[in-house]
Chain A
Amino acid sequence: MASVSIEEASKRYGSSKVLHDVSLDIADGEFVTLVGPSGCGKSTLLRMIAGLEDISGGQIRIGSKIVNDIAPKERDIAMVFQSYALYPHMTVAENMAFSLKLSKISKAEIKAKVDKASDILGLTPLLDRYPRQLSGGQRQRVAMGRAIVRDPSVFLFDEPLSNLDAKLRVAMRTEIKALHQRLKTTTIYVTHDQVEAMTMADKIVVMRDGRIEQAGRPLELYDHPANLFVAQFIGSPSMNMLHGTIGAEGFATADGLQAPLEPNHKTLSRPAIYGIRPEHLAIADFPAPDTLAVTVDVIEPTGAETQIFAHFGATPIVAVVRERITTNPGDRLFLRPDMEKLHLFSADGNSRL
C-alpha cells in the first residue's frame, strides 16, 4: 500500500511537450481514474508512473520514494494492459506465476499465491488453459490475476475494458470495484469512458491536452465542474450549453431568447455560457417566466426514461425526463430548468461564474 504523488511532471517527445507540469496527489488505498479524450496524456502519465516512459521533468513518488530513475520492477507496481498482454505460450497459471518465479520465491509459496489470486477471480478451473483458449473476459481476469499475485503497492490499469463488449464491460466494472474494496490497494485507472470513470473512482481526474482540467470526487465534478470542458465531458448526455449575455431580466441568448436566471446571478452584465444538464430539465405544463420554450425534433424512449431532442432558438437542447410523453416532432414544449442546478461559465469556457 502506498500513496502516489506526482509533482510537476512533464513529458517531452523531441520538441513537443505532451504533459505540462502535472501535479496530483493520490492517497494510499484510493481508486483514482484518469479520464479524458484521446491524446490527453492520461496513458502517458500512467506509463510514467509505471516506469515505461521516461520523465522529462518533475518527479513522481511512490510511497515516499522518488521513482524517476527506478526500473519498473523496482517500483512495486503491477499493470493491466489494454490488450491484456498475456504470454501466449504459457498457461494461465504460468502467466500468473511468471513474476514470482523471477523473484525466486519457493515453488510452494508461488502455488499458494497463484491459487489465492485465481480463487478471488474465479480462475481456478482455467489454470491449465492457454490464452488463445480463453474468452475476452477470461483473459481480462487472467491479466488482473497476474497483477494481484504480486501484491504490489499500486495497481495500474490502462483502459482494460476497452476491448470488451458493452454488457461484459459493465459486469467487469463492478468486479474491479469489488476487488478494490476487498484488497484496498492504491489503484490508478485510465479510461476514455466517463461513465466508467465516474462509477469506479474515489477520485476522478479529467485531463485534456496534457493538463489536468479538474480533479476531485466524481459527484464534485458532476455538481461543480470547474470549466466548460469538464462540464461537457462528465455526464451523459452532455450538459446543454447556451451562449449569450447575462442581463437584468435573465440570460439573453445569442438569438434573442430569454432563459431564466436566479436574481443573485444577474449581478454581472457580461457574455457567458449558460449550462443545464438534460436531467435537470422538467416538463412544464404551461409557459412561464422560468421556462424555456423549445421545438421538439426527436423523442427517444429508452424504457426507463425519455430523451427529448429539441431546439431552443438555434441551439440544440437535450432533456431527459422519467415520464413517458406523447409529444410529436414539431410540437412546442416547455422545459423548466432546476434553478439550483444551473451552471454559468465565462464566455471563453475556462472558468465558472
Chain B
Amino acid sequence: MKIFRIACVYAACLAVLAIFLAPIAWVVVISLKMRGDIFTWPPTFFGFKPTMINYVNVLSGSSKFLLYLGNSLIVASVSTVVAVCIGTLGAFALSGRRKRSSKLWSYWMLSFRMMPPVALIIPYHFLYQKAGMLGSLSAIAISHSVFSVAVVLWMTKNFFDEVPSEIEEAAMVDGASEWQTFRYIILPMAKAAIAASLIFAFLTSWNEFLFAAILSNTKTYTAPVAISSFVGEVYVSWGELAAATIVGILPALVVVFFGQRYLLVGLAPGAVK
C-alpha cells in the first residue's frame, strides 16, 4: 500500500511540474519547427523535423538580436558589479552594529521593494534627458544598479549578521581596522552569500523591462525590450520569436539548473536551515 502511495505522490509531483513547464517546453518546440510545421493542427510535440534555422537567424550577424543580447549582458554585468561593491560595503556597515538609525535604513530598503517602478519613469525620463543620456546603456545600467544595490545589501546583510561578533573582535584585537576586517575577514567568509546576491542582481537586471524600455533607443534595446517590440506585430516569424524568447530566458534557466544552492540562499534567507 505504501508503494502505491509513493507512486501517486511522484506521479502528482511530475504532473504538476509538467503542467508548469509545459508553456516553456512548447515555446522550445515552436523554436525548433519550420514555418509550415508551426501551423499544423493538431499541434505536434514530436513528429516533426526539428530545425535550428530559427536560432541561426536570430543569432546571426545580420540579426539585431545579438546586439540586444550584448546590451543586456553589458548592462547586467556593470550594474551587478557596482551593486556588489556598494551593497556589500553598506551591508557591512549596517550589520550587527548598533546604529540608532539602522532601523530607519531597514525601512528605507523595504520601501525600495514596495515602490512601483512606474512611479520613477517620469522623473527618470526627465533626469536622463537633461543629462543627455537618454538612449545610452549607462543610463540603464545606473537605474538597474539602484535596485540591485538593495538586493545585494539585503542578502549580504543577512549573512553578515550571522557572523559571530567574537571573530570581529579577534580581528580588532589583532589590529585590523574596519576596512581590513571587512576585506580580509568578513568578505572571504561571505563568498557564498555574495555569489548568491550576484546571481540575483544579474538576473534582476537581465529581466528588467520598464526602465530599459524608457531609457533606450533602437540601438540600445536590451533583450526584453527587443522581444516586447514584437508584441503588436501582426506578421511575425513565430519560430524566430520563439527562438529569441528561449535565448532570452537562457540565463534564468542556467541559474535554475546549476545555481540551485545559491538560489535557495538568496530567495529564502533564514528559511533554509
Q: Do chains A and B touch in the complex (CB under 8 A)?
A: yes
Q: Which residues on the B side are within 8 Å of A51 (C-beta)?
A: 172-173
Contact between A79 and B173, CB atoms less than 8 A apart: yes
Q: Which of A92-128 contact B (CB under 8 A)?
A: 98-99, 102-103
How many residues on B have C-beta within 8 angstroms of the other chain's C-beta atoms? 17
Q: A70-78, A177-185, A205-213, A219-227: which one contacts chain B?
A: A70-78
Q: How many residues of A contact B (CB 8 A)?
A: 23
With A87-B185, A89-B189, A98-B184 as known contacts, state yes or no: A81 contacts B170, CB within 8 Å: yes
CB within 8 A of A73: which of B172, B188, B189?
B172
Asked if A98 and B173 make an inter-chain contact with CB atoms under 8 angstroms apart, the answer reads no
A76 and chain B: residue at smallest CB distance: B175
CB distance from B6 to the nearest CB of A (A): 37
Query: Are the CB atoms of A98 and B174 closer together than 8 Å?
Result: yes
Contact indicator A102/B175 (Cβ below 8 Å): yes
Task: Decide: B164 and A83 in contact? CB cutoff 8 A.
Answer: yes
Encode contact with A along B180-191: 1 for CB under 8 Å, 0 otherwise. Answer: 100011001101
Q: By the criterion CB–CB under 8 Å, are A78 and B176 in contact?
A: no
- Main secondary structure, interface of A, reads loop
Contact A89/B188 with A79-B170, A81-B166, A102-B180 known, Cβ cut-off 8 Å: yes
Q: Closest approach, in angstroms, between the C-beta of B29 and any C-beta of chain A?
A: 47
A78-B188 CB under 8 A given contacts A83-B164, A83-B166, A85-B166 = no
Is the contact region of chain B dominated by helix, strand, or loop, or is it mixed? helix
Query: In whole angstroms, how far apart are the Cα atoms of A79 and B173 in the complex?
Result: 7
Q: Does A329 contact B (CB under 8 A)?
A: no
Q: Is the pair B174, A73 in contact by a Cβ cutoff of 8 Å?
A: yes
| Interchain CA distance A217-B129 in the complex, whole Å | 79
CA distance A85 to B172 in the complex (A): 12
Interface centre among A50, A51, A81 (most CB of B within 10 A): A81
Residues of A within 8 A of B173 (CB): 50-52, 72-73, 77-79, 99
Q: Do A102 and B176 touch (CB < 8 A)?
A: yes
Q: Does A146 contact B (CB under 8 A)?
A: yes
Complex CA distance for A77 and B173, rounded to whole angstroms: 7
CB-CB under 8 A from B267, the residues of chain A are: none
B189 x A102 contact (CB < 8 A): no
Q: Which of B175-219 contact A (CB under 8 A)?
A: 175-176, 180, 184-185, 188-189, 191
Do the beta carbons of A102 and B169 come within 8 Å of each other? no
Give Cα A192 to B169, complex, Å: 21
For the complex of A and B, list the 8 residue pairs with the smallest distance between their C-beta atoms, beginning with the closest.
A99-B174, A73-B175, A85-B166, A85-B170, A89-B188, A81-B166, A102-B175, A79-B173
- Jot down 17 A-B pairs with beta carbons below 8 A, ordered by A: A51-B172, A52-B172, A52-B173, A72-B172, A72-B175, A78-B173, A81-B169, A85-B170, A87-B170, A87-B171, A87-B185, A89-B188, A89-B189, A99-B173, A99-B175, A102-B174, A146-B170
